[in-house]
Amino acid sequence: MTLVSPALRGSTIVEALRLRAADEPAGVAAVLVRPDRADEILRFSDVLLLANHFADYLRTLGETAAGSSPRVVNVCLYHGATLHAAFIGAMLAGYLPSMIAPPSPRMEKQKYVDSFTRMLAHIEPAFVITERAVIDALSELRPNALSGRRIVDAALVHASFDPAARTLADVRYPEAHENDVALLQHSSGTTGLQKGVALSHKAVLTQIARYSAVIELSRDDVIASWLPLYHDMGFIACFIMPLVTGVPVVEISPFDWVNRPQLLLEAIERHRATFCWLPNFAYVFMSKSIREGHPDLSSIRAFINCSEPVMASTHRAFASRFSVPPEKLTACYAMAENVFAVTQSAMHEAPRVDRIDRGVFEREHRAQPAPEGGLEFVSNGRPIGEVEVTVVDADGHVIPERQVGEICIRGTSLFSGYFGRRDLTEHAFMGDRYKTGDLGYLADGELFVTGRKKDLIVIQGRNFYPSDIEAEVSAVDGVIDGRVAAFGESDPETGTEALIIIAECEVDDATARARLELAIRKRVAQSFDCTASGVHLVPRQWLIKSTAGKVARSDNRAKYERDLKR
């Protein structure tokens, strides 16, 4: 078994690509798995040549463009060879690529176009490389958004590619320095789009070297993934890391997986995959939805649970349903601001489950061991490499182990800042420590995440800002403007958070109220591709507002638990 970490070469991502092209161009980059079709193998050389074609296309346009100062290229595509090539091509052409979510089948076209237009306004990309369907929807619904913008139809560029026209020797690599920003990671929503996480080549490659060493990633490994690439877990663990280390990825579209979850386990069995990153809900979803058969998952070295709180009950159910040894179910704490992983539980060991006293936890914010019952938290393991994790109190003072406070991190994989938003960047740091907004405690050097200080809802590994959801619901006809609260509530049945919406209205008639609830549900589904678990219509003045006039979410959550929760 040859570990990839000592063999990592190159001080920039483009240099790592150039070295890989020289060393082993014919290696498998990805295997695309689609329902009812034969698997498609993408070799690194094929991807790189197509990427170079995209780069040539952008260079041609760029050279003729006057005054195109923004350097970001947004890549908004469904899974496939074009997605890989467009992203790498943008980097080869010297731009900062950033993945953006393509439309989901559930989102209303108008809603998607609105959010896409907001994205253009916030990010001001030099180019957007996207699907024909997105361009058509924009032309139809927001033609002004296209004027002066450089929107590239990826399929047209791909169609003009002649694999025989160029060789790997023709691929041009841009000049880059290790401290230059290499790429951006964006999360969705009005708020998320303003926070493009800028990552340098050095931060990305340092993270990959350290993380791959911790998980003992080797040249014999195969990663299996259904994760979207516009989210850090899919993007770093299942796209950038394999790209620079030469480890192949077996890749399934998230849309295909959610409708046919067995595709992933069948692909693991067929390709003898060894690593698989999943958010907690995915374990529950597969345990419950795959009711027939026993896929052979013995090739797996580790499933890695990441992106939302890890539940011990989830691991127990998954281990039991699919006969996976508990020591193969590991946990990781990660965020885009640190490229990806902050901590990782040990390989070959089941992560420790800490059982603590609920009363002491709630009253004193302390994790006091209580073997009999109480609360249980799963360890996310120790910090990777030289990442330093501290827990601080409200005044920013570091607090002892087992005291709950805000998790802060420091290290060389930290982001360079939110792109073009110095104000947000300054707010996110305390000296050289990044304040994660997550709450947790350390015990024997291991990190346990217990909750969140920031107002963020994490559903199925995806982040939602309550203010975005509240604004949409507020605009539904019949809801009193500005009188909406949205928050997440942990739900062990689904392994993720349930979205709870409380909206004030002055509607009494039962049928009219049912119609209004449906209208709210539909608006949330079509705007965010997310399902509200509970929609509660309450009378005017039910919601508590702060003295500043804002909906006080924690107070309203407590009132909900007391008065509305069934």
Partner 1 sequence: MSNLIETRVRDVVCRLFLDGNTAFPLDANMSLIESGICDSMGLVTLATAIEKEFPGVRIQDQDITHEAMGSLEAITQLLRARGVDE
Nearest residue (CB) to partner 1, 446 versus 517: 517
- Should residue 564 be labelled a site residue for partner 1 when binding is judged by CB under 8 A? no
Nearest residue (CB) to partner 1, 397 versus 566: 566
- Should residue 522 be labelled a site residue for partner 1 when binding is judged by CB under 8 A? yes
Nearest residue (CB) to partner 1, 174 versus 295: 295
Contact pick of 285, 322, 419, 542 for partner 1 (by CB under 8 A) = 285
Contact pick of 43, 59, 106, 150 for partner 1 (by CB under 8 A) = 106
Contact pick of 532, 537, 538, 543 for partner 1 (by CB under 8 A) = 532
Nearest residue (CB) to partner 1, 454 versus 515: 515
Provide, rounded to whole angstroms, the least separation between the CB of residue 276 and partner 1.
19
Provide, rounded to whole angstroms, the least separation between the CB of residue 442 and partner 1.
33
Candidates 481, 492, 502, 479; CA nearest to 553 is 502
Nearest residue (CB) to partner 1, 274 versus 307: 307
Contact pick of 37, 363, 562, 566 for partner 1 (by CB under 8 A) = 566
Provide, rounded to whole angstroms, the least separation between the CB of residue 37 and partner 1.
16
Nearest residue (CB) to partner 1, 68 versus 313: 313
Contact pick of 168, 347, 525, 544 for partner 1 (by CB under 8 A) = 525
Contact pick of 288, 355, 421, 557 for partner 1 (by CB under 8 A) = 288
Q: What single DSSP character describes residue 7?
A: G
- Should residue 477 be labelled a site residue for partner 1 when binding is judged by CB under 8 A? no
Nearest residue (CB) to partner 1, 89 versus 261: 261
Question: Do the strands 433-443 and 405-410 form a parallel or antiparallel pair, or are they unpaired?
Answer: antiparallel
Taking phi over 0 as left and psi of -120 to 50 as alpha, with beta for the rest, 220 belongs to alpha
Nearest residue (CB) to partner 1, 370 versus 507: 507
Contact pick of 172, 454, 515, 550 for partner 1 (by CB under 8 A) = 515
Nearest residue (CB) to partner 1, 387 versus 532: 532
- Dihedral sign from CA coordinates of 88, 89, 94, 97: negative
Provide, rounded to whole angstroms, the least separation between the CB of residue 263 and partner 1.
11
Nearest residue (CB) to partner 1, 354 versus 472: 472
- Should residue 322 be labelled a site residue for partner 1 when binding is judged by CB under 8 A? no
Segment near partner 1 (CB under 8 A); pick from 235-243, 266-274, 404-412, 522-530? 522-530
Provide, rounded to whole angstroms, the least separation between the CB of residue 99 and partner 1.
23
Provide, rounded to whole angstroms, the least separation between the CB of residue 370 and partner 1.
31
| Phi, psi angle pair for 555, to nearest 5° | -65, -40
Contact pick of 85, 90, 91, 290 for partner 1 (by CB under 8 A) = 290
Segment near partner 1 (CB under 8 A); pick from 125-133, 202-210, 289-297, 466-474? 289-297
- Applying CB under 8 A, what is the total number of residues that bind partner 1? 34
Sheet with 479-491: strands ordered across? 479-491, 496-505, 532-538
Task: Please name the amino acid found at residue 139.
Answer: S
- Should residue 565 be labelled a site residue for partner 1 when binding is judged by CB under 8 A? no
- Should residue 321 be labelled a site residue for partner 1 when binding is judged by CB under 8 A? no
Q: Tally DSSP H helices, then E strands, for the chain.
A: 20, 28
Q: What is the DSSP string of 428-484?
A: HEETTEEEEEEEEEEETTEEEEEEESS--EEETTEEE-HHHHHHHHHTSTTEEEEEE
Q: Say if residues 447 and 379 touch (Cβ distance below 8 Å).
A: yes
233: helix, coil or strand? Answer: helix
Candidates 247, 242, 134, 116; CA nearest to 186 is 116
Q: Say if residues 130 and 156 touch (Cβ distance below 8 Å).
A: no
Q: What is the DSSP string of 478-520?
A: TEEEEEEEEEEEEETTTTEEEEEEEEEE----HHHHHHHHHHH
- Should residue 291 be labelled a site residue for partner 1 when binding is judged by CB under 8 A? yes
Task: Please name the amino acid found at residue 512.
Answer: A
- Should residue 494 be labelled a site residue for partner 1 when binding is judged by CB under 8 A? yes
Q: Say if residues 279 and 305 touch (Cβ distance below 8 Å).
A: yes
Cβ-Cβ contacts under 8 Å for 207 (sequence gap 6 or more): 236, 338, 339, 340, 341, 413
Within 13 A of 359's CA, how many CA atoms are on the CB side?
A: 1
Kindly state the tokens that stand for 457: 């809802």
- Should residue 159 be labelled a site residue for partner 1 when binding is judged by CB under 8 A? no
Q: What is the DSSP string of 28-69?
A: EEEEEE-TTS--EEEEHHHHHHHHHHHHHHHHHHHHH-SS--
Query: Cα separation of 323 and 297, whole Å?
Result: 8
- Should residue 453 be labelled a site residue for partner 1 when binding is judged by CB under 8 A? no
Segment 254 to 283, residues that bind partner 1, using CB under 8 A = 258-262, 281
For residue 270, the tally of other CB atoms under 10 A from its CB is 16
Nearest residue (CB) to partner 1, 471 versus 544: 471
Cβ-Cβ contacts under 8 Å for 3 (sequence gap 6 or more): 212, 213, 216, 217, 218
Nearest residue (CB) to partner 1, 139 versus 531: 531
Kindly state the tokens that stand for 332: 């990781």
Residues that bind partner 1 (CB under 8 A): 106, 258-262, 281, 284-285, 288-293, 494, 510-511, 513-515, 517-518, 520-526, 530-532, 566
